[in-house]
Amino acid sequence: MKILVLIKQVPDTEAQIKIDPSGKAIDESGIKFVLNPYDEFGVEEAVRIKEKNPDSTVTAVTIGPERSKEAMRSALAMGADTGIKIWDDSLAGADAGVKAALLAAAAGTLEYDIIFCGKQAIDDDQGAVGGAISRLLSVPFVSNVVKVDISGGKCILQREVEGASEIVECGMPCIISAQKGLNEPRYPSLINIMKAKKKEIKEMTPAGLGVSDLASKTELVGMEPPPSRPPGRIIEGEPAQAAVELVRILREEIKVF
């Protein structure tokens, strides 16, 4: 089995996000970057498939600047065999469509049975890439997956939707986006972290992939801080009194029921 995992380096979930004076980017100083949590699920699932099917290979692919090598090392330490890192400075600020075109072009140079991606990257929070490469590669896509079973050359996938789980039968190759619940990502052992340092990260450029149209179809007009919430009110008193007051507020002031 040949597996590709699309990974992105993103700010840690705890990171304080400040808007850069340009108003069009975030200020990266002091931010700790990590492997996107949803991509960890993808890497873990790929590595588990490989552990069951020993002649498999797992290749992690990322588009990102120099710093994103660190996220790549995390994926390699979890058990991915090799990495591909795509970048050139013209990609700063490129939208999901451009990234998807590059990832599809990179996938096109490789053999694959499954491509894992994350439900969304927790920086832009879009969930756009999986569907886009599905179209570009003419390969089926199933999103929000919490269970993968492979048998008889097919994937049986469980997709979580509002209020239900859908079991989707899908031929290979296919693209699967990972949702929490798929697995518990491992913590790489020290020895695997050391081994990861020796694994190859192949660096590529858009030109090297033959992609020349790098124009985003969306324009970032600006960024602003989220609206702040007005200070809240503490309802004083014994539990019974406070409960009565709360129910009154919700009924009479907020009118939710």
Partner 1 sequence: MSGNVYTILDTRDGEFPQVNLEALAVGRLIAEKSGKDLISLFFSDNPSAHLDKFAGRGVKKVHLFASPELGKFNLEHLGKLTINKIGQENDSIVVLPANIHGKELGGYLAAGLGAGYVTDCTGISEEGGKIVYKRPAYSGKVIQKLAASAGAALVVGFRPNSFPVPEADATGAPETVAETVSTEPAKAVIVEVKKPEGAALDVTEAKIIISGGRGLQEGANFSLLEELVALIGQGATVGASRMAVDAGWRDHQAQVGQTGKVVSPELYVACGISGAIQHLVGMSSSKCIVAINKDPEANIFKVADFGIVGDIFQVVPAICEEMKRVKV
Ligand X SMILES: Nc1ncnc2c1ncn2[C@@H]1O[C@H](COP(=O)(O)O)[C@@H](O)[C@H]1O
Residues in contact with ligand FAD by CB under 6 A are: 13, 37
| Per CB under 6 A, 183 contacts ligand X | no
CB of 87 to partner 1, least distance (A): 21
Helix/strand/coil for 161: strand
Give the binding-site size for ligand X (rule: CB under 6 A): 23
User: Considering beta carbons, is residue 13 or 29 the nearer one to ligand FAD?
Assistant: 13
Q: Return the residues of window 149-168 that contact partner 1 according to CB under 8 A.
A: 156-157, 159-168
Q: Return the residues of window 30-89 that contact partner 1 according to CB under 8 A.
A: 37-38
Burial class of 210 by CB neighbour count within 10 A (0 to 12, 13 to 18, 19+): exposed
Tokens of 255: 């009118």
CB crowding 44-68: b at 16 or more within 10 Å, else e: bbbbebbeeeeebbbbbbbbbeeeb
User: Considering beta carbons, is residue 35 or 196 the nearer one to partner 1?
Assistant: 35
CB of 180 to ligand FAD, least distance (A): 7
Q: Return the residues of window 115-144 that contact ligand X according to CB under 6 A.
A: 117-118, 120-121, 124, 126-130
Q: Residue 118 touches which of partner 1, ligand FAD, ligand X, none (CB < 5 to 8 A by kind)? A: ligand X
What track of x and - describes contact with ligand X for positions 28 through 57 (by CB under 6 A)?
Answer: --------x-xx------------------
| Per CB under 8 A, 170 contacts partner 1 | yes
State the Cα–Cα distance between residues 66 and 88, nearest whole angstrom. Answer: 10
Q: Residue 152 touches which of ligand X, ligand FAD, partner 1, none (CB < 5 to 8 A by kind)? A: none
Sequence-distant (6+) residues with CB within 8 A of 208 are none
96: left (phi over 0), alpha (psi -120 to 50) or beta: alpha
CB of 84 to ligand X, least distance (A): 9
Stretch that binds ligand X, among 17-25, 58-66, 72-80, 146-154 (CB under 6 A): 58-66
| Per CB under 6 A, 96 contacts ligand X | yes
| DSSP-H helix ranges across 11-63 | 37-52
Tokens of 158: 């469980």
| Per CB under 6 A, 90 contacts ligand X | no
Sequence-distant (6+) residues with CB within 8 A of 119 are 38, 127, 143, 144, 177, 178, 179, 180
Question: Which of 181, 205, 214, 39 lies closest to 115, judged by CA?
Answer: 39
By the criterion CB under 6 A, which residues form the site for ligand X?
Answer: 6-8, 36, 38-39, 61-64, 96, 99, 103, 117-118, 120-121, 124, 126-130
